[in-house]
Structure 1
Amino acid sequence: MGSGKAVYQPPPAASYRDVPDYAETASMSSAVLLEDVEAAFPDEELPPYQDEPVEAHLLPTASASTSNAAIQLGTYAPPDLPFQTHDHSCREYRTRFPLYSTDSESLYKAIKEQAFYPPNYQVQIYGSHTETRRNGNKETKARVDDFLIVIDITNLLGGLGKGTFEILPNNKRGYRGTRIPSLHPTVSSDADAEEGVDELKRWCDRYVADKSGWKSFTLKRKIINHDKKRLERLLRSAIAETNYRGHVSIDFPEQRTSLIVYSPGKINEWRITSWIRWVFYCAFLWIFAWPFLFIITARYETVKAVYRYADQPPGDDMRRRCIVMTEVEWFHRWQSAIKRAAIARMMCRDGVLDEHYRLGTERTDVRGELHGRQPEAPRTGNAFVDGAIGLLGQGLRLASDYNDARGWGADS
Structure 2
Amino acid sequence: MGKPSDVTTGGSKSTSPDGVSLHTNPGEGYRDRYRDDEDAPQLQADDLPPSYGAAILGPSDDPPPAPPLIEIPYLIEDANTKARYYVDRRLEDPLRLERLIRAEAATPPRPYLRLLGTHTQTTRDSKGKSERNTVTDFDVSVELTPYLYSDAQYRKSWTRLRTVENSERAKRGTVFAGHAPGSGLGAARDIEGGDADAKPTLREWCHRYAASHAGLKCFALRRRMVGFDEAGVVYRLRRLVNDTNYRGNLRVELVVRNEVVECYNECRTSRWRFTVWIWWLVVLSLMFVFTWPYLWLRTKRWEVVVAEWPFSVVADDGSKHYVSISEDQWYNLWARAICKAVLEKRQAMLDQADLRRAEEPEPPLSTGHAGVDGAVGLFRAGINAMNEVNRHLGWGGDC
TM-score with structure 2 length normalisation? 0.70
The corresponding residue for 2:148 is: 157
Would the aligned equivalents of 2:343 and 2:387 in 1 still touch at CA under 8 Å?
no
Q: Does 1:276 align with 2:278?
A: yes
Deviations 1:323-345 (A, max 9, x none): 22222211110111111111222
Q: How much has 1:270 moved relative to structure 2?
A: 1.0
Q: Does 1:177 align with 2:178?
A: no
Would the aligned equivalents of 1:122 and 1:252 in 2 still touch at CA under 8 Å?
yes
Q: Does 1:243 align with 2:245?
A: yes
Q: How much has 1:240 moved relative to structure 2?
A: 2.9
Would the aligned equivalents of 1:6 and 1:83 in 2 still touch at CA under 8 Å?
no
The corresponding residue for 1:322 is: 322
The corresponding residue for 1:110 is: 100
Report the 3-state secondary structure (helix = DSSP H, G, I; strand = E; otherwise coil) of the residue aligned with 1:287: helix
Q: How much has 1:245 moved relative to structure 2?
A: 2.9
Aligned letter for 1:131? Q
Q: Does 1:353 align with 2:350?
A: yes
Distance 2:226 2:263 in 1: 24
Deviations 1:75-127 (A, max 9, x none): 686999513313353253211122111x2221111100111122111011111
Q: 1:386 to 1:149 in 2, by over 3 A?
A: closer
The corresponding residue for 2:52 is: 74
Aligned letter for 1:411? D
Deviations 1:171-209 (A, max 9, x none): 4454333344463599xx988988xx9811122222223
The corresponding residue for 2:118 is: 128
Would the aligned equivalents of 1:125 and 1:250 in 2 still touch at CA under 8 Å?
yes
Would the aligned equivalents of 1:116 and 1:162 in 2 still touch at CA under 8 Å?
no
Q: 1:245 to 1:297 in 2, by over 3 A?
A: closer
The corresponding residue for 1:409 is: 396
Q: 1:202 to 1:355 in 2, by over 3 A?
A: same
Q: Does 1:362 align with 2:359?
A: yes
Aligned letter for 1:302? V
Distance 1:76 1:84 in 2: 22
Q: 1:193 to 1:324 in 2, by over 3 A?
A: farther
Q: 1:176 to 1:69 in 2, by over 3 A?
A: farther
Aligned letter for 2:160? T
Which structure 1 segments of 5+ residues have no match?
A: 10-57, 368-374
Which structure 2 segments of 5+ residues have no match?
A: 11-21, 35-45, 57-66, 184-190
The corresponding residue for 1:168 is: 164
Q: How much has 1:6 moved relative to structure 2?
A: 4.1
Aligned letter for 1:100? L
Would the aligned equivalents of 1:2 and 1:273 in 2 still touch at CA under 8 Å?
no
Distance 1:388 1:260 in 2: 57
Q: How much has 1:223 moved relative to structure 2?
A: 2.5
Q: 1:192 to 1:359 in 2, by over 3 A?
A: farther
Would the aligned equivalents of 2:33 and 2:323 in 1 still touch at CA under 8 Å?
no
Q: Report % sequence identity.
A: 25
Aligned letter for 1:156? Y
Aligned letter for 2:395? W
Deviations 1:358-411 (A, max 9, x none): 12322237x7xxxxxxx9x99x999x9999999999888766654543333222
Distance 2:82 2:389 in 1: 45
Q: How much has 1:259 moved relative to structure 2?
A: 0.8
Deviations 1:265-305 (A, max 9, x none): 10111122233233323333233223433443332222111
The corresponding residue for 1:213 is: 215
Distance 1:72 1:280 in 2: 45
The corresponding residue for 2:340 is: 340
Q: How much has 1:253 moved relative to structure 2?
A: 0.9
Report the 3-state secondary structure (helix = DSSP H, G, I; strand = E; otherwise coil) of the residue aligned with 2:347: coil
Distance 1:139 1:198 in 2: 62
- The partner residue of 1:83 within 74, 78, 92 is 74
Count residues with an aligned counterpart.
342
- The partner residue of 2:131 within 140, 147, 162 is 140
Q: 1:395 to 1:8 in 2, by over 3 A?
A: same
Distance 1:255 1:395 in 2: 39
TM-score with structure 1 length normalisation? 0.68
Q: 1:6 to 1:118 in 2, by over 3 A?
A: same
Would the aligned equivalents of 1:126 and 1:248 in 2 still touch at CA under 8 Å?
yes
RMSD across aligned positions (CA): 4.2
Report the 3-state secondary structure (helix = DSSP H, G, I; strand = E; otherwise coil) of the residue aligned with 2:307: strand
Q: How much has 1:59 moved relative to structure 2?
A: 5.1
Deviations 1:19-56 (A, max 9, x none): xxxxxxxxxxxxxxxxxxxxxxxxxxxxxxxxxxxxxx
With 282-291 and 229-238 compared, the bigger mean Cα shift is at 282-291
- The partner residue of 2:88 within 85, 97, 100 is 97
Q: How much has 1:261 moved relative to structure 2?
A: 0.5
- The partner residue of 1:232 within 231, 234, 237 is 234
